[in-house]
Amino acid sequence: MIEFESVTRSFGGTRAVDEVTLAVERGTICALVGTSGSGKSTLLRLVNRLLDPDGGRIRLDGVDIAGIAPVELRRRMGYVIQSVGLFPHWTVERNVATVPLLLGWPAARIAARVAELLDLVGLAPDVHARRYPDELSGGQQQRVGVARALAADPELLLMDEPFGAVDPPTRRSLQDSLAAIQKRTGTTIIIVTHDVEEAIRLGGTLAVLEHGRLVQTGTPAAVLAHPANEQVARFFGGPLLGLHLLQALNVGNRANFTDPSQVGGEPIDADASLETALARMIAEGTSRLPVVNPANGRRGVLELAELVGL
């Protein structure tokens, strides 16, 4: 668990991070969002002490990180940046093994871990391990970047706009991979992004920053339903905010499982987003969809009127 307590950091008189107090629970994903210059990257870099705060405290599982040597602290955290920063003169294998090598793991354990991680991020070890970074696509490079950050099984993964430089389909596939990995490993993730959809897809919690101040925290659905102010509403799409809300909500939130009347057709998962449901209604020219809850097999109906919250 990470706790920020009145954390402040200034650069030449301007407060990039201003009295931020925030707690990120163990095993959750927290998305730091905001426009450029809102201080979200600065806040992230305070966590692994690439920067130190001018005021306030950051605690990792109750321990003030100011008392932990930066090098030791960083080796307990994974760090992924937009430009990836793979070592161009090392193979994929060696890149992923960077931190385990620094920690002095035995060779056999490192080899096994590298293969496991490449598998985890969706790269075939026998195909990609011996390649050099410039022989990979941008998306593959970022997969290696994620594998490298996870190598020593960090308690915390810090990601600074990790998928900002790849094309949209690749970005979505990387986001799905990351969500799946997080579910499997239970790693706590703090991700900086200015991509609203990415924040909604990944963020269990959103922390919205504005001029260095934390203006709102909450689940994507809560933040989108009740934006704290005009700027937050504008950031999440302004007039299109409602569409983003459909991404943040599940079919299960709006479906009626007590209505005995049955609707024909392929049922939609209760876990699917309302956006997906709306897309299907449009495609099929209907205002009602059959719903199934994959967890307990219960069936229900989603009405267009319910979907839009009437």
Binding to another protein by residue 79, rule CB under 8 A? yes
Binding to another protein by residue 102, rule CB under 8 A? yes
The DSSP call for residue 198 is H
- Least Cα distance to 166 among 45, 70, 83 occurs for 83
Binding letters toward another protein, positions 12-51, x by CB under 8 A? ------------------------------------x-x-
Please, which of residues 135-164 interact with another protein by CB under 8 A?
Answer: 145, 148-149, 158
In the complex, the smallest distance separating the C-beta of residue 40 from another protein, rounded to whole angstroms, is 16
CB 182 within 8 A of CB 174: no
Question: Which tokens hold the place of 14?
Answer: 């301007």
In the complex, the smallest distance separating the C-beta of residue 98 from another protein, rounded to whole angstroms, is 6
In the three-class reduction of DSSP (H, G, I as helix; E, B as strand; rest coil), residue 265 is classed as: coil
Binding letters toward another protein, positions 274-293, x by CB under 8 A? --------------------
In the complex, the smallest distance separating the C-beta of residue 243 from another protein, rounded to whole angstroms, is 34
Residue nearer to another protein on the CB measure, 129 or 292: 129
The whole-angstrom separation of Cα 34 and Cα 23 is 18
Quickly tell me which residue has 């650069």 as its tokens.
Answer: 11
Residue nearer to another protein on the CB measure, 33 or 97: 97
Angle among Cα 237, 202, 50 to the nearest 5 degrees reads 100
- Provide φ and ψ at 3, rounded to 5°: -120, 125
Burial class (CB in 10 A: 0-12, 13-18, 19+), 263: middle
Helices (H) and strands (E) in the chain, counts: 15, 13
Binding to another protein by residue 218, rule CB under 8 A? no
Quickly tell me which residue has 């005995």 as its tokens.
Answer: 260
Residue nearer to another protein on the CB measure, 131 or 194: 131
The CA-atom distances, in angstroms, between 156 and each of 114, 127, 186, 302 are 19, 29, 10, 38
The CA-atom distances, in angstroms, between 198 and each of 191, 207, 280, 303 are 10, 13, 22, 27
Residue nearer to another protein on the CB measure, 150 or 249: 150
Name which position in 99, 118, 178, 192 contacts another protein (CB under 8 A).
99
Name which position in 15, 57, 75, 213 contacts another protein (CB under 8 A).
75
Binding to another protein by residue 11, rule CB under 8 A? no
In the complex, the smallest distance separating the C-beta of residue 238 from another protein, rounded to whole angstroms, is 33
Residue nearer to another protein on the CB measure, 74 or 288: 74
User: Which residues in 81-94 are b (16+ Cβ under 10 Å) and which e?
Assistant: bbebebeeeebbbb
Binding to another protein by residue 85, rule CB under 8 A? yes
Residue nearer to another protein on the CB measure, 131 or 298: 131
Residues at the interface with another protein (CB under 8 A): 48, 50, 70-75, 79, 81, 83-89, 98-99, 102, 130-132, 145, 148-149, 158
